[in-house]
Structure 1
Amino acid sequence: MRPLFVVLKPLCFLALLGYCPSATIRPKEGWQVYSSAQDADGRCICTVVAPEQSLCSRDAKSKQLRQLLEKIQNMSQSIEVLNLRTQRDFQYVMKMESQMKGLRSKFRQIESNRRTLLTKNFQELKGKMNELQPLIPVLEQYKTDASLISQFKEELRNLSVVLMAIQEEIGAYDYEELQQRVLGLEGRLRNCMNKLTCGKLMKITGPITVKTSGTRFGAWMTDPQASPKNNKVWYMDSYTNNKIVREYKSVSDFVAGVESKTYNLPFHWAGTNHVVYNGSLYYNKYQSNIIVRYSFESGRVTTQRALESAGFHNVYPYTWGGFSDIDLMADELGLWAIYATNQNAGNIVISRLDPQTIQVLNSWNTEYSKRNAGESFMICGTLYITNSHLTGAKVYYSYSTKTSTYEYMDIPIHNQYFHMSMLDYNARDRALYGWNNGHQVLFNVTLFHIIKTDDES
């Protein structure tokens, strides 16, 4: 078999001089070998695509730009000649101006004493007129130069139109190319994300402080089931004695305090562990173990159901209290409720809920005391529990509903403002939303993923 570079070299030469890639091909920077094979004589045959910089579609534009450049250069030379001539003629004009002033003075003398008019005066006058004679062609040349300047102005106007047209055409081409690249990258990213299986939490970084508002306790959230264009934020201040939900069209509106809508719920909520999922708000009705589903679209309660045996009203809260007995949350797998029961000795119970009916689909009993938990959140069907709501908190325990097994962990979480009263994972944003002592914050999470290859089922 011949060396690969021997075959590549002539192919590269041909690609540079005669190959125009199809509009549907978007090769990356640098040379690309798309395929290689061996022919009947044992030679390596490769398909090579030249870099994008040699796209043939740019040839017409390059030719126009070259012609434009030549025209401007010729124009610059003509203007330089005109400038030199003007400087020379200006010296003539200055000299003739002085002579004309002398001639005017002579006329005044003659006019004041006509009787003394002598032949000598006529001779002097004639001499002055002869000296002024060269001024006539100079002035004629100025007329020609003025015409030339007008011509230059017209050419410049035409060149400007051509240049703007080329600029717009090239600009449109570059924007279109850029847009195609962005779409291509988005497609590649989407394909990559689709290959990501549910990951294991490895690290929490942040927080980023989005806003400082409200009381020490509260909740804020976005809908993980919403479309990418829907970035509404919902805000619920305090852990009880409140029924007002504030809606913002975007995070920027939330930061600026520009409300788009306000909802007055029919029942007070308990705690701060609410969740918005697929256009509905799920929350724990005050002084009960009832879960309420409130539709933002219809503005009314669509479903409410008691969570059997769940403790409520500060029987099994998180370490900070605040009627945080029942924690509602969502992840990649659906809607969940975290709570404790007497039957499980006050330890945490995980229940997966039907979003429509709020019925319990399945439950798992853990051995972690609800009262010893600072906060908790679900990622890919695994519950992660922090050991405190104060400074020094860390993710200490996890329980996998897939394997029904638990694990002790040691993942620090920076409690910047010393008191965490809400911590929930958003599967769309792949981030933790937190209410940190009157500060609305975001944490980034690092997950360990297993990438599915194309040949895997």
Structure 2
Amino acid sequence: MKLSGLLPLCALLALSQQSQGPSKCECELVNLNQAFPHNKLDTIQDDASGCVSRITPQSSFHMESLLLGLKRRLPQLMEDLEQLEEEHDGDLYSALSLHVLENELEEIQQLMDKLNGSIQGNQELAENTTVLLQNLKEGLTDLEHFDTMQVVKRQHVNQRLKKDLDQCRNGLQPTAKPTQPTDRTCPLGQFVNITGPVVYTGGEYPGSYKYGGWGRDPKPETGKESWYWLVMMTSSNRYANYIRFYSTLSSLIVGKSTPGNIQIHASNPTTNTIQGPNVVLYGGSLYYNCFNAPSLCRFNLTSKAITVTDLPKGTRFNSKGNFCQLDECYPFTDLDLATDESGVWVIYTTSQDFGNLVLSKVEEGEQLKLGQTWHTSVYKQAVTNTFMACGVLYATRYVSSTTEEIFYSFDTATGKENFNVGIFLNKVSPSILFLNYSPVDHMLHAYCDSNMVSYKFLFEFNDSLNVSS
């Protein structure tokens, strides 16, 4: 007998018993279905969460970076070997060339060891994930048997109907207009190469502060056209609270700071002071990552006023989205500020972009805010630094202790990416901890393990630019 028939019968029996006397009616209800396995459902949810946390794009991007590095090193090794063969003179070989080859072979072996480790780890991850996914599929199939009301099935049907409806609606909409090209001023044409270093100095504090930044203001205030600025991470290689000025390049090299310091705050660090070395000066204001916040700060040198704007939700900060090389990451390089002919840019990464570089234009005006934003497909931790020139984002990577490569570009006017730029920098020390292009003198300024270094840009139409003093 069905349950729907049992309940009225029980009620009728109860009325009959009540009419006969004080005795009560008892009905036993038996559920013929199995109890729902909540424990099994909890186990499946935990396994699914663990699977999601283990499978991230970082491992594949890391392996891609190693492969690209190996691809660059092998042709260089062949060139050096050919040069060594040309130097053959009887039984004599160049000891220096042999030493160079030995170092290159050792670095290539390190790359291959890291690559083999990454491949083995990814294979194990793939095998374990395959087994786990199969178990999850079987477990979910078993749980569907308990869906006697077919709720899950109807949900699947509804999802398909909703997807078809969305596609139908979107199909009736007009095609979106493409992103409008950004304004740019490149009178010298395309950036084609770089030479140097042209400037190489320890400055006023040789060897004292590993992290920092320096350069010129592309839009200087009147009377400060020849000034150079310097920001050193004076606390824990991470924080700073003042900017130091030099009246000329010669003053910077000999370490004579005539204008002196302009202080942001007496304490270091504290709210809205500097965090990380990637800072720039533009229009008489210093732009930098605010202390302990996913925010951009602007410090006006004249009024001493600080304005702040938050970066998009999910922006990685406090050393969660650093620039990296093969063996280490550079702490507190989450935000990179850059200048070019058009103004100030900020480069960062977010959780939504899975660690890929994001580029935003900083709008000029009394209120500090971000303008147009571009999303790239290059993984930030596979990059050692970035800079802007004529509206094009460039990224570098570590090749060796003496060589850095500009390997990537993103054109904001066209959205076109290039992973094979292939321009190399000769380094004076293993790590480049700050990099910024100066449209004033067409130099690329770098801060390398407490040394201030600059390189000369070579453009398509003119490569005879000189350094201003």
TM-score normalised by length of structure 2: 0.52
1:228–1:367 Cα change, 3 Å: farther
Q: SS of the residue aligned with 2:252?
A: helix
For each residue in 1:392-434, what CA deviation from the matched residue of structure 2 results, as whole angstroms up to 9, or x when unmatched? 3201110000000101211111112121101100011111011
Moved more, 436-445 or 388-397: 388-397
| Counterpart AA for 2:452 | Q
Q: Which residue of 1 aligns with 2:262?
A: 263
**2:433 is the counterpart of 1:428:** no
Rounded Cα–Cα distance in structure 1 between residues aligned with 2:186 and 2:356: 32
| Counterpart AA for 1:286 | F
Q: Which residue of 1 aligns with 2:52?
A: none
CA contact (8 A) 1:327 1:339 kept: yes
Q: Which residue of 1 aligns with 2:408?
A: 397
Rounded Cα–Cα distance in structure 2 between residues aligned with 1:211 and 1:292: 29
**2:189 is the counterpart of 1:199:** yes
Residue 449 of structure 1: CA displacement?
Answer: 4.5
For each residue in 1:306-333, what CA deviation from the matched residue of structure 2 results, as whole angstroms up to 9, or x when unmatched? 1113211111111132200111111012
CA RMSD across the alignment: 2.1
- Return 5+ residue gaps in structure 1 as ranges: 1-193, 451-457
Q: Which residue of 1 aligns with 2:342?
A: 333
Q: Which residue of 2 aligns with 1:375?
A: 385
Residue 196 of structure 1: CA displacement?
Answer: 5.2
CA contact (8 A) 2:185 2:341 kept: no
CA contact (8 A) 1:240 1:268 kept: no
| Counterpart AA for 1:402 | A
Residue 297 of structure 1: CA displacement?
Answer: 1.2
1:230–1:414 Cα change, 3 Å: same
Q: Of Structure 1 and Structure 2, which has the larger fraction of its residues in helix?
A: 1
1:229–1:289 Cα change, 3 Å: closer
**2:244 is the counterpart of 1:246:** yes
Rounded Cα–Cα distance in structure 2 between residues aligned with 1:273 and 1:365: 20
Rounded Cα–Cα distance in structure 2 between residues aligned with 1:221 and 1:417: 19
| Counterpart AA for 1:436 | C
CA contact (8 A) 2:186 2:390 kept: no
Q: Which residue of 2 aligns with 1:44?
A: none
- Return 5+ residue gaps in structure 2 as ranges: 1-183, 266-271, 463-469
Rounded Cα–Cα distance in structure 2 between residues aligned with 1:228 and 1:362: 32
| Counterpart AA for 1:251 | L
Residue 255 of structure 1: CA displacement?
Answer: 2.0
Rounded Cα–Cα distance in structure 2 between residues aligned with 1:195 and 1:311: 32
Q: Which residue of 2 aligns with 1:385?
A: 395
Rounded Cα–Cα distance in structure 2 between residues aligned with 1:370 and 1:436: 19
Rounded Cα–Cα distance in structure 2 between residues aligned with 1:371 and 1:278: 31
Q: SS of the residue aligned with 1:294?
A: strand
1:416–1:236 Cα change, 3 Å: same
For each residue in 1:146-192, what CA deviation from the matched residue of structure 2 results, as whole angstroms up to 9, or x when unmatched? xxxxxxxxxxxxxxxxxxxxxxxxxxxxxxxxxxxxxxxxxxxxxxx
Rounded Cα–Cα distance in structure 2 between residues aligned with 1:241 and 1:409: 33
For each residue in 1:75-132, what CA deviation from the matched residue of structure 2 results, as whole angstroms up to 9, or x when unmatched? xxxxxxxxxxxxxxxxxxxxxxxxxxxxxxxxxxxxxxxxxxxxxxxxxxxxxxxxxx
Choose from 192, 216, 225 the match for 1:222.
216
Counting matched residue pairs gives: 256
Rounded Cα–Cα distance in structure 2 between residues aligned with 1:231 and 1:389: 34
Residue 202 of structure 1: CA displacement?
Answer: 1.2
Q: Quote the sequence identity (%).
A: 26
Q: Which residue of 1 aligns with 2:321?
A: 316
**2:226 is the counterpart of 1:231:** yes
Which 4+ residue blocks in structure 1 deviate beyond 6 angstroms? Answer: none
**2:431 is the counterpart of 1:419:** yes
CA contact (8 A) 1:375 1:389 kept: no
Rounded Cα–Cα distance in structure 1 between residues aligned with 2:186 and 2:301: 32
**2:465 is the counterpart of 1:438:** no
| Counterpart AA for 2:362 | L
Rounded Cα–Cα distance in structure 1 between residues aligned with 2:316 and 2:400: 24
Q: SS of the residue aligned with 2:251?
A: helix
TM-score normalised by length of structure 1: 0.53
Rounded Cα–Cα distance in structure 1 between residues aligned with 2:459 and 2:319: 33
Residue 375 of structure 1: CA displacement?
Answer: 0.7
| Counterpart AA for 2:436 | D
Residue 258 of structure 1: CA displacement?
Answer: 2.1
